[in-house]
Amino acid sequence: MEQLRHFIARLFRRPARPGPAAGDDSHPLDRERLRELERRIEYRIRTEDHFVRALLHRSYLQHKRFAGSSNERMEFLGDSILNLIVGEYLYNHYPRAEEGDLTKMRSRLVNRKALAAYAKAIGLADFILTSPSASSGLGKGQDTIAADTFEAIIAAIYLDGGFDEARRFVERRVLSAVKSGAVLTADDNYKSMLLEYAQANGLGIPRYTIVLEEGPDHDRTFTVEVSLTDGRRGRGKGKNKKEAEQAAAARALEHLS
């Protein structure tokens, strides 16, 4: 029996993780960059290998002859974890929504464009390991790389610290965007809905005011506040004024309801 246990243990023993190929014995991320990554993602890294692997794009392996594995498997795991956390949030916060509506809401929160925006918010591109051609010649392909890496980082946090830590990260980076109005969960015209409600209840015409503009000219973020005659108001963000106004109207409707 003891011999059988040893045989099974050897059979399922994980092979040693391959390191850099001959001629390239450098670590792809130094400690200083990993510490900065910790600050960006607001998480203390325990096992560095998880995060190095999460940041490895397949093009880097070919360019540097680095004998590791790319982040594609971690992207798969992170996608599953992200969908579970977001799905649970929507299920609990929208009890009257039908299955189809919940699916649409989740899609808006976890599509490639949204994920790339979350990655950009923490400057994840500063850490992604790619070949020079991949980092400079793909145009919109950069958004896909950033989105995939964001999912891989979720997997790294999950493997390193467990599900609760992964949930906290998603809540900070994804679900907070819902609560602030930076990402809308539906295609409804919230401005029209708010106007209809306000006029039906004697609250006048909603007034929209830009309270903050952030970022460079090519990547501005607007914060808009909407107010009604009774003093109630809502605030939302967007990449343009129209999007920010819709987000502000959505928040005002939440307060009114």
CA distance 194 to 249: 6
Ordered strands of the 221-227 beta sheet = 207-214, 221-227, 233-238
Q: Which residues share a beta bridge with 234?
A: 226
**72-93 and 141-161 helices, crossing angle to 10°:** 80
Residue 159's identity, in one-letter code, is L
23 to each of 19, 26, 64, 66, 153, how far by Cα in Å?
Answer: 11, 9, 10, 10, 28
Would you say the C-alpha torsion 61, 145, 123, 78 has a positive or negative sign? Answer: negative
Give the DSSP H/E element, type plus range, for residue 32: helix 31-41
Would you say the C-alpha torsion 245, 214, 55, 59 has a positive or negative sign? Answer: positive
Active site residues: 79, 151
CA angle at 179 for the pair 175 and 182, rounded to the nearest 5°: 85
Helices (H), 43-189: 48-54, 58-64, 72-93, 99-110, 112-121, 132-136, 141-161, 163-170, 176-180
Answer whether 56's CB lies under 8 Å from 19's CB.
no
